């Protein structure tokens, strides 16, 4: 059975993705900061491995992948999902501490997990595996007052491309899924009202996060000779195309 790590697995998209993979027969390590939330995700799947992890902490990420190697001996899939919206406001209103916390979680966390995954995928036999990074439609077009979040999501695109290029000779594929308005706890406010480019606050449509899980499953099930480099999935009527 293939082995996967899903970060941010204690809630939202991470929980939906992790449970979909578990339902498909994957051996899944659930990573997240809250043990009780990971336990909730693992309900009904006694073979799931819950590893409380702050992805911004190098030692905790190393321990996560060591636990995976000790339990299953290999890794086939990393879903780099953990993230935070971070602070909201104009650039001059953002504190350096809030900026750094956002970068640490969204970008450095993805790097740390990908680094450990690549090390394991290169060393194992047969060699190789797949990494799927959670980007955002903000990797294409920002929302107002989201400089920290948007900067990290643009950077994830660069990380995805670099992993894809450097991983080729080791049969490591890397793709990115950019998501707009999946209905989770993190986006609950969007359906009630989100700030638009002209300053108006308007409700935006959302969609079932199960469709994101289905997209991840499609990407994950491809042979390593094929790769979805970038996939964008949004609520059909969200103000993304034509934003601004």
Residues paired with residue 180 on neighbouring β-strands, in sequence order: 234
Q: 58-97 burial by CB neighbour count: b if 16+ within 10 A, else e?
A: eebbeebbebbbeebebbbbbbbbbbbbbbbeeeeebeee
Q: CB–CB of 89/148 below 8 Å?
A: no
Active site residue 149: yes
Spatial distance between the Cα atoms of 122 and 118, rounded to a whole number of angstroms: 6
- Measured at the CA of 54, the angle between CA 48 and CA 59, to 5 degrees, comes to 100
The terminus-to-terminus CA distance of the chain in angstroms comes to 46
Q: CB–CB of 80/64 below 8 Å?
A: no
As given in the structure block, the two tokens for residue 29 are 């390590």
Spatial distance between the Cα atoms of 105 and 152, rounded to a whole number of angstroms: 9
Q: Of the listed 149, 174, 209, 215, which one is catalytic?
A: 149
Residues marked as catalytic: 149
């Amino acid at each position: 059975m293939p082995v996967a790590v899903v970060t941010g697995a204690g809630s939202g998209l991470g929980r939906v993705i992790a449970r979909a993979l578990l339902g498909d027969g994957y051996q899944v390590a659930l990573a997240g900061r809250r043990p009780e939330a990971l336990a909730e995700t693992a309900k009904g799947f006694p073979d799931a491995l819950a590893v409380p992890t702050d992805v911004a902490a190098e030692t905790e990420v190393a321990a996560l992948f060591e636990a995976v190697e000790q339990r299953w001996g290999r890794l086939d899939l990393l879903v780099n999902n953990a993230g935070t919206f971070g602070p909201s406001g104009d650039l001059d209103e953002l504190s350096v501490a809030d900026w750094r916390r956002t970068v640490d979680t969204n970008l450095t966390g993805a790097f740390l997990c990908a680094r450990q995954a690549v090390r394991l995928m290169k060393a194992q036999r047969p060699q190789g595996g797949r990494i799927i990074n959670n980007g955002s439609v903000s990797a294409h077009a920002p929302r107002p007052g989201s400089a920290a979040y948007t900067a990290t999501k643009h950077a994830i695109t660069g990380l995805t491309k670099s992993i894809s290029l450097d991983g080729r000779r080791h049969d490591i594929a890397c793709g990115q899924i950019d998501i707009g308005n999946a209905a989770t706890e993190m986006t609950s406010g969007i359906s009630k009202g989100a700030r638009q480019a002209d300053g108006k606050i308007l409700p935006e449509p959302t969609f079932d996060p199960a469709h994101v899980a289905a997209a991840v499953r499609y990407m994950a099930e491809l042979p390593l000779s094929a790769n979805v480099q970038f996939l964008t999935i949004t609520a059909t009527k969200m103000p993304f195309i034509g934003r601004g």
